[in-house]
Structure 1
Amino acid sequence: MTEEEIWNRVSAVFQEVFDNEDIVLTPETTAEDIEEWDSLTNIQLLIAIERAFSGLKFSTGQVANLKNVGDLVAAIDRHVSD
């Protein structure tokens, strides 16, 4: 899977979870950039991402190290490349 395909899938998950097709993600996007992104939504996002990428499971440590969407995509990329 290419990085572009990962970005497309992650974007689709964000748009679905937030019910907003206008969300545009960048590597620097954080919870501060999306008004509705709170701790509950963060959990919903991670579950949806894990479902979207078969076999992906984030550990608590991995989640704690995710600072922005770019970090999330990089973590997914490492998983799908293994």
Structure 2
Amino acid sequence: MTTVEALNQIFQMVFDDETIQVTRDMTANDVDGWDSLSHVNLITTIEAKFNIRFSQKELLKQRNVGNLIDDIDRKLTGN
């Protein structure tokens, strides 16, 4: 399963919307219900699924889902 495929499942579960299809340019403004509380739930679910941890600095730099994908892939490859 690719990072995007896994994120699709996570987003669909967290936001209870099976129609969500993540894109690299997607932001919180593009998803109904993506507020600060759901963002915390999203990040903790991603961290658990991929067995990774984001630093506060990394989280603050993430401007869209593309940045999130890049950070996940970088952590998974150890770069």
1:40 corresponds in structure 2 to 37
Q: Which among 64, 71, 75 is matched to residue 67 of structure 2?
A: 71
Task: Report the alpha carbon displacement of residue 24 of structure 1 after superposing the two structures with TM.
Answer: 1.2
**Alignment coverage as a number of residue pairs:** 78
Per-residue Cα deviation, 1:10-68 (whole angstroms, up to 9, x for no partner) = 111000001111001110000000121000000000000001102x0011110000000
2:14 corresponds in structure 1 to 17
Distance in 2 between residues matched to 1:11 and 1:72, nearest whole Å: 13
Structure 2 gaps, min length 5:
none
Percent of paired sites with the same residue: 36
1:81 corresponds in structure 2 to 77
Which structure 2 residues correspond to residues 54-69 of structure 1 after superposition, within 5 A?
A: 54=51, 56-69=52-65
Superposition TM-score, scaled by structure 1 size: 0.92
Superposition TM-score, scaled by structure 2 size: 0.95
- Structure with greater contact order relative to length (CA < 8 Å, sep ≥ 6): 1
- Matched residue type, 1:29: M
